[in-house]
Every structure is written in structure tokens, then in C-alpha cells.
Amino acid sequence: MRSSSLQFRFTSLIFVASFICLFCIADVSAQDSITLGVVLPTTGGEAKAGQYQKEGIELAIKQINAKGGILVKEKGKKLPIKEIFYDNGTDSAKAASLVERVMSSDKANAVIGGYSTALGEAESVMPDRYQIPWITAGAAATSIFSHGYKYTFGALSPIFLLGTTTAEFLGSLVDQGKLKKGLKIALVVENTDHGVDYVKGIQDWISKHPGYFTVVLSEKFELHGTDYSGLLQKVKTSKADIFLSDAHLPDYITMQRQYLQAGLHHQIISYGARGPEADARKALGAGTDYILAALWWSDKLPYPQAQKFISDYKAAYGRSPDSWYAATAYDATRILAQAIEAAGSTNSSKIRDALAKAELKGSLLPGQVLKFGANGQADYPFLVTQNKPGDKVDIVYPKDAATGPPIAPRP
Amino acid sequence: MTASDYLDLIIKSLLLAGIYAAMAVGMTVIYGVMKIVNLAHAGFLMMGAYFAFVLFNRFHIDPVLGAILALPAFFLFGMAMHWLLVRWLPKSDTPTLSSLLLMFGVWLVLQNLGYMIFGSEDSSILTPRTLASVQLGNISIPLVSLIVFIAAVVSLVLLQIIFNRSWFGRSMRSLIQNPYAAKIVGVDDERTARLTFGLGTAFAGFAGALLAMLYSFNADFGRPFLLRSFVIIVLGGLESVSGVAIGALVLALLETFSVQVLPASYQPAISFALLVVVLIIMPKGIAGLLQRKLKVT
């Protein structure tokens, strides 16, 4: 009896020891790749943009892995990138917990995520807690980068700059004589830090350039709304000449549809960083013509690397990258790969330090260089595009990148 | 604001009430008879939208006709759903946790099926009438909203007639008023419940197909409408078809006019606040309050 109990204990001990060894082996084999956590919305309200970002990241990973991976000096060899993807379902709480999971349980060396501002804000508290670098390629509100976090990076220029670029472009239309001085603006923005920064950017430019424009209405709306008739009535009664909104894709489509149905007309319409998306064209047809958008990227950029990206993307997914979503995610992955190579290590702190100094030359983005500022956020110029009849989109600002003239006021 | 602006707002509120009534009526029918808070309603709305979309894209069937075709298709689907899942739920006079969980699960399954079949892409139906509007002086009335409003009124009237005139309607009413007495006098509660679930699902599919003319949609479509549908049926009285019309109108008027004096970002909070206020002050809804007043006088 006693001997069988001992035998049982011995067998159990061997079993537990083998189990632990198995884990050790698994862990050693895990170090033969670089684990990249990707947390994005591929379901829910932001599914569309999240899907494009995921595709951009996966295209970059595929290209890097096709070359054997990233050279990591301390390992003395190239390591492939292993992606661990989680869908946050456009839910802030889920987004934060998934980033925590990928950093703590999955032991990711770095994480890319954070589309959109609301989801990015929720995720941004995790990187410093786990000391693992996190790059957002889809959230640009200044608030995310104002907490002094060290492991948080953003591949999008600030929304404040989006606002000032939009106002600066409108100012240039006044200087060209296309718009009159002193026009009235109605500002209708989403009730997030994204919207707040956009308004600040517009008002900052207006306050520095008196006489150009006056803001007669400034309103916020909740994300993913279904009815804007009351709000649009307010816009109508404000008798504004210019209608500037800052909205996400679903809200842009719903609001523009109701705007047109209400028979409204303004000399200029813009929905911030939304405008040329194929979904909007599909839903509204010519109803999106002449809409202006200030963007982080456009497929009309003449850079050879941008054109190569478009053809690679088409070959991989059978369609063009819609608007800027995939391009910023693609470059976020590329700059991360460059930083890992510069760090020569898979140590997250070393990768973080290398990211802070990284400079991606040959970037797809305006200016062709992607680097992060002291607060971790990129700061490259915006482009202004305009939808034109026949599904055409032109870059209309800045002048040196323009592919066509701006049409203002709207016919 | 001028008088014309106010008139414009009233018309917009009426049209919005039509949309709200269309989306809430199916949920009311099911709650009234079966005491099931149908969280899968959002999934049925989404399926209705895709039903109209597929008919429009593949067979070039007008979405209005698609919505009408959704009625029999979703009626059968709802009956099958009842036979397969809902009939196993324990019978109760009040909503049960098991029914809530079942319908929530059904919604999640439908949503994920939607993602599997249609992907995360947004879909939309663009017809010549999508952006068209009827001009009434200075006021633009969106044509599709007008169509949805008319469809909502017709379906409410139709449902009221079914409720008042048919054998099935009388069975439904008797089960709403007193399920025990109804069974004693020979009402087949199982059969009535099956038909009721079919009818509620049919109206949800119909509403989804109509809403597809107004919004872009994906597998998550229906979620923003769920809370409003719930507010409307609570506001109108949980078991009353005419209450749905009242609830939809009150909510639409309040949402549209409140934006004129409050920041627009408070609009969603109005639904929540209204739900809380109604549940505290008049738990039987406006219809219940009116009935009580009529009895007193």
C-alpha cells in the first residue's frame, strides 16, 4: 500500500516536471520569433477602418517575413514576426483588456492597435504598466500623448493640426478669391477628444487670422448616431456659409445623407478626416461630390513607394486601400521593424528606446519621413483632398502635392 | 427660429416617430403575449436589412417590395425559431433571466453569422429615391423617410385590426390580459405564442428592410435601435400597439426639439433619462396612464 502511494507520488512528480519542461521548450521556441500583438476593431461600428488597418499591418508582416524576418543581433539571426490578433468589437473596455492580455499572457514584444480615438485612449494606459511599446496607427487626439507615457507611440499627426490645416486651406481659398472674407462657419463635431482637438485647431487658426472666418455654431454629437435632423436644423438656422464636421465613417455617411435629404447647401462641406471612402460613395453616389477631407495619406500621392504599396495591397487583397487607414498601419509596422533591428534585441525596453529615435525614411506618408516627437506622436503635414464627379478624388492642398485644383464654392 | 422652422421640426419628428414605431412594434408584440424582452430583435433588424439588400443587389427588387416580401419570410423564420428554441423556455407572467439570456445568445449568433457571410464591410442600398425629397414650401421632406412613415402607420393599423377583429388577435389579447383564464376558455397558448413570435419577427424583418433604405448597415446593425425600441415600448405601455405609436412620437419629439435648446451630445441621454422617469412615474406607460384617466372620468 505504502509502496503504491510512493509510486503514485513519483509518477506525479515526473508528470509535473515533464509538463514544466514542455512549457520551457515552448517558451524557448517562442523566442524564435518576434511576437506582435494587434488589437483592432474588425466587428462593431469601426469594423471597416479596423479591417483596413489589420490588412496594412499584415501586408507589412508578410513582406518582412518574406525576407527572412528582422535581424536581431543578440540572437545572431533573423527572426520572423508572429502576429497575435484580437478583435476588440469597437468596445473600449474590451480593447483595454485585450491589450492587457496580449502584453501579459501572450508576452508580445510590441503591440499595434488603437483605432479609433476612443478605443486608443482606453488602450493607451496599458503600455507603461507592462513596459511594452504600443503604436496606434488610428488615434490622433493629443490627450493620448499628453500623459507623459513612455511606451505610447502614434503614427498619426495630431488632430489639432488637422483642424489648423483645414482652416489654413480655407484661408488660402479666400486669398485666391474663391471664397469671400468673413464667411460664417458651423462646426459640428463628435463628442470625443478627437472632436475637441479639431475645434481647437480651427479656432486657433481663426484667432491668429482675424477677419477670415467667424464660427457661428459649435456643437458636439454622440458617436454612431441615427438621427441628426434636430442638429442639422440648428445648422440651418445658424445661416452658416461653411459646414465643417469632424466625424467617423458611419456618422459621416448618415449625417451627409440626412444633410442632402434636408436640402441643405453650403459653400464648403468637410467631415474632417473622412470624405473619399468607397463606402460613402457606394451609399450616397454623387452626394459626396465636392466634399473636402484633411488626410494623413492619399493614394494620389506621387511617391514611388506609395504607388508600390498600392499595387502590393491590390495584389494581396484584390482591391485598393480605401482612404488612409491601411497606409498608416503599414508604416507603423515598418517603423517598429526598423526599431527592433536598431535595438538588436527583443527586449521591450530596448525596442521602446529605439522607437523613440527611429526615423523611417521612404515612408508612404506626406513628407516621406515618419518619426515620433518627444511625446511619442508623429508630426507630418496633412493633405487636403476633394471628391469630384465620376468617383474622382484630387489632392488640392498643399500646392506642391496637388493633383487638381480645388472647386470652391460648391456648385 | 421662424414658424416654418418649427413646422419643419414637427414634420421631422413625425417622420422619425414613423421610423421608431416601425422598429419597435415587433418587440412589443412579442413582449405583450410572451413576456420576452427580445434582445434578438436587433439581429432580426439586421437580417431584414440584408434581406432587402440581397434582393436588391442580386434580383434588382425594389427595397420597398423587398420589405413587403420580408413579412412572410420572417414570419416563417420566427415560427421556426419559436419551434426550435423559444418554446422550451419556462412559462412565466414576467420576463425571466433564461429568456433574456437565450435571446441575447441568439442575437450574438445572428450577428456573427452576419459577419461570416457579409464580412465587416458596410452595405447600403442606393436608389434614385435615396436622396430625393418632397418640397413643401421651404421644407424638404425626405422621400424614403416618408415611405417608412407610411409603412409604419399602415403596419400599426394592420396590427390593431388583427388585434381587434381576428380570432388570433382575440387569443393574443386574452393571453395578455389573463393567461390562466384564457387557457380555461380554450385558447391554445402554445399555438398563439408561436404565431405571435412569427408576427413579431415578421415586423422586425420588415422594419430592418425599411431601415436599410435609410442607413448603411453591417452585422452590428440594430444595436443603436435596441435601446430606443425598449424606451418606446416602456413609454407606450409594454403591451399596447397604440402605445407604440404614442411612445415613438413622444421620444421623437423630445429628441428633435431638445437638441434646439440642449447640446446635441445630450441626445442619447434623453432616451435613458426618459426610460428611468417613465419606469418610476408611470410603469404602465402613457397608454396605461390614459386608460386610468379615462376610467376615473
Structure confidence at residue A24 as a pLDDT band (50, 70, 90): very low
Touching check for B248 and chain A: CB below 8 Å? no
Touching check for B171 and chain A: CB below 8 Å? no
> What would the mean pLDDT of B83-103 be, rounded to a whole number?
90
Q: How far is CA B192 from CA A186, A385, B132, B249, in A?
A: 54, 58, 42, 29
The pLDDT of residue A178 is 96
SS3 A121: helix
Q: For residue B232, is pLDDT > 70?
A: yes
Q: Choose, out of B9, B10, B107, B124, the residue to mutate when testing the contact with A (most A CBs < 10 Å).
A: B124
Q: Which of A278, A249, A321 is nearest to B126 (CA)?
A: A278
Query: Cβ(B63)–Cβ(B70) under 8 Å?
Result: no
Question: Side chain identity at A10, as an amino acid letter?
Answer: F
Positive or negative, the Cα torsion across B185, B186, B192, B193? positive
Q: How far is CA B297 from CA A209, A232, A264, B243, B293, in A?
A: 67, 43, 48, 20, 6
* B140–chain A nearest CA distance, Å: 5
Residue A86 CB partners (closer than 8 Å, separation 6+)? A37, A38, A39, A98, A101, A102
Query: Cβ(A353)–Cβ(A325) under 8 Å?
Result: no
Contact A261 B140 (CB under 8 A): yes
Structure confidence at residue A254 as a pLDDT band (50, 70, 90): very high
Contact B126 A226 (CB under 8 A): no
Q: Choose, out of A189, A226, A238, the residue to mutate when testing the contact with B (most B CBs < 10 Å).
A: A226
Rg of chain A in Å (alpha carbons): 24
Strand pairing category for A134-136 and A152-154: parallel
> What would the mean pLDDT of B224-250 be, rounded to a whole number?
85
Touching check for B216 and chain A: CB below 8 Å? yes
Query: Cβ(B245)–Cβ(B157) under 8 Å?
Result: no
**What would the grid cell of residue A69 be?**
524576418
> What would the mean pLDDT of B175-186 be, rounded to a whole number?
86
Write out chain A residues lying below 8 Å of B262, CB-based. Answer: none
ipTM of model: 0.86
The pLDDT of residue A341 is 96
Residue of A nearest to B143 (CA): A261
Query: Cβ(B282)–Cβ(B289) under 8 Å?
Result: yes
Picking from B215, B257, B258, the nearest residue to A226 by CB comes out as: B215
**Digit-coded pLDDT (tens) for B24-73:** 999 988 988 888 999 999 999 999 999 999 999 999 999 999 999 999 99
Touching check for B12 and chain A: CB below 8 Å? yes
**Taking the domain A160-295+384-401, which CATH number applies?**
3.40.50.2300
* A244–chain B nearest CA distance, Å: 15
Structure confidence at residue A17 as a pLDDT band (50, 70, 90): low
CA A53 to chain CA mean position, Å = 8
Scan residues 93-122 of B and list those with Cβ closer than 8 Å to A.
111, 115, 119-122
Touching check for A42 and chain B: CB below 8 Å? yes
Contact B225 A230 (CB under 8 A): no
Touching check for A254 and chain B: CB below 8 Å? yes
Lowest mean pLDDT among A123-137, B96-110, B152-166, B172-186: B172-186
Q: For residue A19, is pLDDT > 80?
A: no
> What would the mean pLDDT of B143-162 be, rounded to a whole number?
92
Written in H, E and C, the secondary structure of chain B is CCHHHHHHHHHHHHHHHHHHHHHHHHHHHHHHHHCCCCCCHHHHHHHHHHHHHHHHHHHCCCHHHHHHHHHHHHHHHHHHHHHHCHHHCCCCCCCCHHHHHHHHHHHHHHHHHHHHHHCCCCECCCCCCCCCEEEECCEEEEHHHHHHHHHHHHHHHHHHHHHHHCHHHHHHHHHHHCHHHHHHCCCCHHHHHHHHHHHHHHHHHHHHHHHCCCCCECCCCCHHHHHHHHHHHHHHCCCCHHHHHHHHHHHHHHHHHHHHHCCHHHHHHHHHHHHHHHHHHCCCHHHHHHHHHHHHC
The pLDDT of residue A29 is 44
The b-or-e profile of A38-51 (16+ CB within 10 A means b, else e) is bbbbbbbbbbbbbb
Contact B131 A285 (CB under 8 A): yes
Q: How far is CA A139 from CA A228, A238, B259, in A?
A: 25, 31, 28
| Orientation angle between helical segments B167-177 and B189-211, nearest 10 degrees | 100
> What would the mean pLDDT of B238-259 be, rounded to a whole number?
87
**Digit-coded pLDDT (tens) for A158-216:** 999 999 999 999 999 999 999 999 999 999 999 988 899 999 999 999 999 999 999 99
Contact A234 B259 (CB under 8 A): yes
The b-or-e profile of B219-257 (16+ CB within 10 A means b, else e) is bbbbbbbbebbbbbbbbbbbbbbbbbbbbbbbbbbbbbb
Q: Quote the CA–CA distance of A213 and B234 in Å, as a whole number.
A: 47
Touching check for B16 and chain A: CB below 8 Å? yes
Touching check for B260 and chain A: CB below 8 Å? yes
The pLDDT of residue A327 is 96
Q: Quote the CA–CA distance of B118 and B57 in Å, as a whole number.
A: 13
More confident residue, A30 or A138: A138
* B259–chain A nearest CA distance, Å: 6
Query: Cβ(A256)–Cβ(A288) under 8 Å?
Result: yes
The pLDDT of residue A4 is 56
Picking from A50, A226, A253, the nearest residue to B225 by CB comes out as: A226
Which residues of chain A are in CATH 3.40.50.2300 domains? 31-157+301-380, 160-295+384-401
Touching check for A82 and chain B: CB below 8 Å? no
Query: Cβ(A106)–Cβ(A35) under 8 Å?
Result: yes
Q: Which of A167, A112, A159, A173 is nearest to A351 (CA)?
A: A112
Touching check for B271 and chain A: CB below 8 Å? no
- Classify residue B60: in a domain, yes or no: yes
Residue of A nearest to B1 (CA): A237
Write out chain B residues lying below 8 Å of A249, CB-based. Answer: 122
Picking from A47, A188, A228, the nearest residue to B120 by CB comes out as: A47
Touching check for A47 and chain B: CB below 8 Å? yes
More confident residue, A222 or B93: A222
Residue of A nearest to B135 (CA): A263
The pLDDT of residue A347 is 94
The pLDDT of residue A13 is 54
Touching check for B63 and chain A: CB below 8 Å? no
Structure confidence at residue A334 as a pLDDT band (50, 70, 90): very high
* B149–chain A nearest CA distance, Å: 15
Proportion of chain B above pLDDT 90, given as a percent? 51
- Classify residue B266: in a domain, yes or no: no
Peptide bond preceding B268 in cis form (omega within 30 of 0): no
Residue of A nearest to B225 (CA): A226
The burial class, CB within 10 Å (0-12 / 13-18 / 19+), for A8 is exposed
Q: Quote the CA–CA distance of B141 and B9 in Å, as a whole number.
A: 11
**What would the grid cell of residue A45 be?**
461600428
> What would the mean pLDDT of B166-187 be, rounded to a whole number?
87
Picking from A230, A263, A279, the nearest residue to B140 by CB comes out as: A263
Picking from A48, A226, A229, the nearest residue to B121 by CB comes out as: A48
Helix intervals (H) in A225-366: 229-237, 249-261, 278-284, 304-317, 325-343, 348-357
The pLDDT of residue A169 is 97
**What would the grid cell of residue B184 be?**
380555461
Lowest mean pLDDT among A6-10, A18-22, B37-41, B76-80: A18-22
Q: For residue A25, is pLDDT > 50?
A: no
- Classify residue B237: in a domain, yes or no: no
Boundaries of domain holding B118 = 3-221
- Classify residue B254: in a domain, yes or no: no
The pLDDT of residue A267 is 97
Touching check for B14 and chain A: CB below 8 Å? no
Residue of B nearest to A188 (CA): B264
Q: Quote the CA–CA distance of A67 and A59 in Å, as a whole number.
A: 13
Q: How far is CA B262 from CA A233, A239, B13, B65, in A?
A: 13, 19, 16, 39
Q: For residue A249, is pLDDT > 90?
A: no
The pLDDT of residue B281 is 83
The pLDDT of residue B175 is 85
- Classify residue B246: in a domain, yes or no: no
Q: Quote the CA–CA distance of A220 and A245 in Å, as a whole number.
A: 9
Contact A237 B1 (CB under 8 A): yes
> What would the mean pLDDT of A19-24 be, rounded to a whole number?
46
Write out chain B residues lying below 8 Å of A237, CB-based. Answer: 1, 5
**What would the grid cell of residue A89 be?**
468589437
Picking from B126, B135, B140, the nearest residue to A285 by CB comes out as: B126
The pLDDT of residue B262 is 86
Write out chain B residues lying below 8 Å of A50, CB-based. Answer: 120
Average pLDDT over chain A reads 91
Touching check for A284 and chain B: CB below 8 Å? yes
Contact A283 B126 (CB under 8 A): yes
The burial class, CB within 10 Å (0-12 / 13-18 / 19+), for A84 is middle
Q: For residue A3, is pLDDT > 80?
A: no
**Digit-coded pLDDT (tens) for A369-399:** 999 999 999 999 999 999 999 999 999 998 8
- Classify residue B29: in a domain, yes or no: yes
Q: For residue A129, is pLDDT > 90?
A: yes
The pLDDT of residue B266 is 84
Contact A231 B216 (CB under 8 A): no
Touching check for A9 and chain B: CB below 8 Å? no
**Digit-coded pLDDT (tens) for A283-296:** 999 999 999 999 99
Assigned architecture for domain A31-157+301-380: 3-Layer(aba) Sandwich (3.40)
Peptide bond preceding A276 in cis form (omega within 30 of 0): no
Q: Quote the CA–CA distance of B271 and B287 in Å, as a whole number.
A: 18
Number of folded domains that form chain B: 1
Touching check for B262 and chain A: CB below 8 Å? no
Lowest mean pLDDT among A42-46, A316-320, B68-72: A42-46
